[in-house]
Amino acid sequence: MAAGKDYYDILGVKRDASADEIKKAFRRLARKHHPDTGGSEDKFKELNEAYEVLSDTEKRSQYDQYGQYFGGNAPPGAGRSGPGAGQGQSYGYGGQPADLGDLFGDIFGGGGFGGGRSRGPAPRRGRDLSYEVTIDFDEALVGMSTKVDVQRAEKCQTCSGTGAKPGTGRVSCKTCKGSGHVSQGGGMFAISRPCPRCNGEGTVLESPCASCKGKGRVLRVKPITVNIPPGVTDGGKLRFKGKGEPGEHGAPAGDLFVITHVRKHAYYTREGADVMLDLPVAFTEAALGTEVTIPTPGGQKVKLKVAPGTQDGKVFRLAGKGAPKLKGKGNGDLKVRIKVMVPTELSGKGKEILQQFAQEHAEELRAHIG
């Protein structure tokens, strides 16, 4: 087979390679050597020729049988019959295999091969927009409505979004003659591309609209009312579907994302749906026990019993008294953390009492330390 081409070697596959292996090898090499990506046209033609033969069961069988004679006259007595018997029968490169257009559509993004018509640009979904709002702690608990000034591209009112000057329209593109595509190269290796002038649409504006310069859209600042649900957190992200920039050619609008920033509260902090309150108590209250009236995030007043001997850092949990759960039902909890306060200044009487207390209990507290 010295005089013939080794199609298996060209595609880099074994002689017993499966149809799927042959197709994968061709796709990989075609992507590498395609003229549209800077490859060699001769190499690409050779790959195409090899794939046409090896991807066809009948042609591959003939090639495996006749080898070097494939593509020209078969050796005498090759056993051919039917119309054309005794005449040279070519199985060499003579046209694209039936599925080559689909194959190249997969490789190069659907642009077509060998003169396939361009479909033109697909409608593009509008851009997503993102804005930030700052609200008070209490507003985050109960929810609110607010207006966001959104700058986005809106349909041009002058041309009603067509991009054309009123009274005019679109005309056939002279570059592609209305086909929406242009071809590079010739013959069987013509590469079809979307027309650069009309972007694959096949038509161009006869006279662009002066207001939008032919784009069909203009930038405007539009106030949009957004509803902030109860329970939002600092740094949370809310999505408002379809409130973003309108799409092109009737495509859906993008989404509006609102980032919430929550101002700090005088004494509450948030842990998701739970609210934390640091409650100062005198060390005598912690020692003897007490009852303290405390506010809840909902505005109610509740009484909290502090048991005798309560230690600093002890946390009491009041179920359902926290913030609303953003995703789910009900509220989080109100967690009250005890902060035992030690006096920094003492009167003579108070100091005397504490000194007596220390004499009775200090050594007892440290008895376990050697």
- 4-60: per-residue pLDDT in tens? 678 899 999 999 999 889 988 988 888 888 766 667 878 888 888 888 888 888 888
Cα within 13 Å of Cα(114), Cβ side: 15
Average pLDDT, the chain: 79
Pairing between β-strand 256-262 and β-strand 129-135 as defined by DSSP bridges = parallel
Instruction: Compute the radius of gyration of the chain from its Cα atoms.
Output: 40
How far apart CA 232 and CA 99 sit, in angstroms, is 55
CA-to-CA distance for 233 and 262, rounded, in angstroms?
7
Residue keyed to tokens 């108070």: 350
Whether 165 contacts 152, CB under 8 Å: no
Does residue 321 register a pLDDT over 80?
A: yes
Tens of pLDDT, residues 184-214 = 655 445 577 788 888 888 888 889 999 888 8
- Lookup result for tokens 């041009």: 156
Residue type, 233: T
Residue 140 CA to residue 235 CA, distance in Å, equals 12
* pLDDT tier, 103 (very low <50, low <70, confident <90, very high otherwise): low
Q: What is the pLDDT of residue 366?
A: 66
Is the whole-model pTM more than 0.75? no
Element (H, E) at 49: helix 41-54
Measured CA distances, 134 to 92, 235, 296 (Å): 72, 10, 23
Q: Is the pLDDT of residue 169 over 90?
A: no
Count the alpha carbons within 13 Å of 292 in the hemisphere toward its beta carbon.
18
Residue type, 277: L
Higher-pLDDT residue of 79 and 275 is 275
- For 267, residues 6+ apart whose C-beta sits below 8 A from its C-beta are 277, 278
Grouping H, G, I as helix, E, B as strand and the rest as coil, residue 219 is strand
- What's the pLDDT band for 370 if we cut at 50, 70, 90? low
Total count of residues recorded for the chain: 370
**pLDDT digit string (tens) for 281-306?**
998 899 899 999 999 998 899 999 99
pLDDT over threshold 60, residue 342: yes
Contact (Cβ atoms closer than 8 angstroms) between residue 135 and residue 210? no
Residue 135 confidence (pLDDT): 94
Position 1 pLDDT exceeds 90 = no
Partners of 155 in the beta sheet?
217
